[in-house]
């Protein structure tokens, strides 16, 4: 989490930063009152906001400071004085609060919170981002719930189809990193991983020549182990093409390439884009110049076509050449689909220089975008405002980035007409959102 994303919670503290001389390593007893973006909870000490790991709102904890700034500090809970009724034993023993903070494994920072309450906290984060960054207070913007994915059990375990493990350069031991560090922590199990990966995980092996290990369990291929050796950028086999399934359809993807890690995530996003297109109804023109930005291997193009028309015209823009080639294969049976290898901002700049006829077709169209965690950003949102498509379907993996881009789009002439959240990452602070914008 950056200072910028924490600014909402620290605004008031800057006005009254307090006078206590605090230092990293100090231990405080804190009352935890709120949740912040990034998986940390919020407490206050003499006017200073303290962002605390490994706790949750409603608790009183003893916490060790790890960083102290003028208006805020960061800390990690070392013991619980008064527990929330929503606290549970951590789903990963090696992340338990009973361990020293530096020895707690990362990757499941909400694992000490009851699963249903995790989703309530994530919904609070989304609503708060919409109020603060997007400046919206409507029910649509602030009342979204975070929905479980089909097939998730009550424990929220066994969903992750891709896992990266690291190798300690001194000992050769294999394991995840500790939370907020690059210390390798030996573990006995991987509770978030799908069961197919357990036999492949080298948790008891020594791999002194390796840098990291990727475990991959494709839905349409055998599980595999990819080892990246020290001094190398990619693992042997990372470029192998494997098959993944989404909504019953095959998609070809590189073993080391991007694909949603939750076993049901790709199908969920495919189906939600299809549902968004159906919900928009006649506002979606299959014959217009529809766009899929940051298109990957064509997953969301498939959803757009499923919700619109098998002959719908849509161009997928992707900066990775290998992914673009695979998208062309995956969409070969869709006569109206095209793929283009380009950066999104460069492609949109070319469109803005195009003839009036091309611009008119974009103006009638729908844009689907699934940007990186940093969001579409100022340049791309400005380009979209100038192109002024009829609809924008925005798939977001970061609520603050989504809210920031929402504020730009709403100010520029769009209305947020739908917002939903999905728990693609149980026991972590991450989740996915899908927002629909319509031109006013």
Q: Give catalytic residue positions.
A: 397
Angle, vertex CA 290, rays to CA 288 and CA 291, nearest 5:
160
Q: Give the Cβ contact number of residue 287 at 10 Å.
A: 13
C-alpha to C-alpha distance for 79 and 8, rounded to whole angstroms? 27
Q: Dihedrals φ, ψ of 299, to 5°?
A: -55, -50
The three-state secondary structure class of 294 is coil
Q: How far is CA 317 from CA 67, 130, 356, 368, in A?
A: 41, 28, 21, 10
C-alpha to C-alpha distance for 164 and 228, rounded to whole angstroms? 11
CA-based max dimension of the chain: 67
C-alpha to C-alpha distance for 23 and 64, rounded to whole angstroms? 10
Q: Dihedrals φ, ψ of 250, to 5°?
A: -80, 140
CA torsion sign for 194, 198, 203, 209 is negative
C-alpha to C-alpha distance for 245 and 302, rounded to whole angstroms? 12
Contact between 167 and 153 under an 8 Å Cβ cutoff? The reply is no
Contact between 226 and 236 under an 8 Å Cβ cutoff? The reply is yes
- Name the token pair of 5: 């994303």
Only one residue has tokens 């694909």, namely 259
The three-state secondary structure class of 31 is strand
C-alpha to C-alpha distance for 114 and 424, rounded to whole angstroms? 16
Question: Quick one: three-class SS letters along 192-259?
Answer: CECHHHHHHCCCCCECCCEEEEEEECCCCCCCEEEEEECCCCCCCCCCCEEEEEECCEEEEEECCCCC
Q: How far is CA 384 from CA 144, 226, 305, 392, 409, in A?
A: 25, 39, 21, 9, 8
């Amino acid at each position: 989490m950056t200072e910028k994303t924490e600014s909402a919670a620290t605004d008031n503290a800057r006005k009254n930063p307090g006078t206590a001389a605090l230092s990293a390593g100090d231990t405080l007893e804190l009352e935890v009152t709120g949740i912040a973006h990034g998986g940390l909870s919020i407490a206050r000490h003499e006017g200073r906001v303290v962002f605390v790991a490994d706790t949750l709102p409603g608790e009183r904890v003893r916490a060790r400071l790890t960083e102290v700034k003028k208006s805020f500090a960061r800390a990690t809970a070392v013991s619980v004085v008064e527990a929330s009724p929503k606290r549970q034993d951590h789903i990963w023993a090696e992340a338990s609060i009973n361990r020293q903070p530096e020895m707690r494994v990362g990757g499941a920072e909400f694992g000490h919170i009851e699963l249903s309450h995790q989703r309530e906290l994530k919904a609070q984060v989304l609503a708060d981002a919409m109020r603060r960054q997007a400046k919206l207070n409507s029910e649509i913007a602030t009342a979204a719930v975070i929905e479980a994915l089909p097939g998730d059990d009550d424990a929220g375990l066994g969903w992750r189809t891709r896992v990266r493990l690291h190798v300690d350069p001194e000992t050769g031991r294999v394991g995840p990193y500790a939370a907020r560090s690059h210390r390798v922590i030996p573990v006995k199990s991987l509770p978030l991983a799908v069961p197919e990966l357990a036999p492949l995980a080298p948790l008891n092996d020594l791999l002194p020549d390796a840098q990291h290990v990727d475990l991959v369990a494709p839905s349409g291929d055998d599980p595999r182990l990819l080892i990246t050796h020290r001094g190398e950028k990619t693992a042997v086999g990372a470029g192998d093409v494997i098959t993944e399934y989404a909504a019953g359809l095959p998609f070809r993807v590189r073993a080391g390439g991007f694909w949603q890690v939750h076993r049901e995530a790709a199908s969920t996003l495919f189906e939600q884009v299809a549902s968004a297109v159906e919900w928009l109804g006649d506002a979606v023109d299959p014959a217009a110049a529809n766009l899929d930005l940051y298109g990957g291997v064509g997953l969301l193009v498939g959803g757009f076509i499923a919700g619109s028309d098998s002959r719908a015209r849509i161009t997928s823009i992707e900066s990775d050449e290998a992914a673009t080639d695979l998208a062309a294969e995956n969409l070969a049976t869709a006569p109206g689909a095209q793929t283009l290898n380009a950066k999104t901002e460069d492609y949109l700049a070319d469109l803005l220089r195009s003839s009036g006829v091309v611009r008119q077709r974009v103006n009638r169209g729908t844009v689907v975008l699934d940007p990186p965690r940093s969001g579409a950003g100022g340049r791309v949102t400005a380009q979209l405002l100038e192109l002024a498509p009829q609809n924008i379907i925005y798939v977001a993996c970061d609520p603050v980035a989504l809210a920031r881009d929402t504020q730009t789009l709403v100010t520029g002439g769009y209305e947020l007409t739908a917002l939903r959240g999905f728990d693609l990452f149980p026991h972590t602070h991450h989740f996915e959102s899908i927002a629909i914008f319509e031109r006013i």
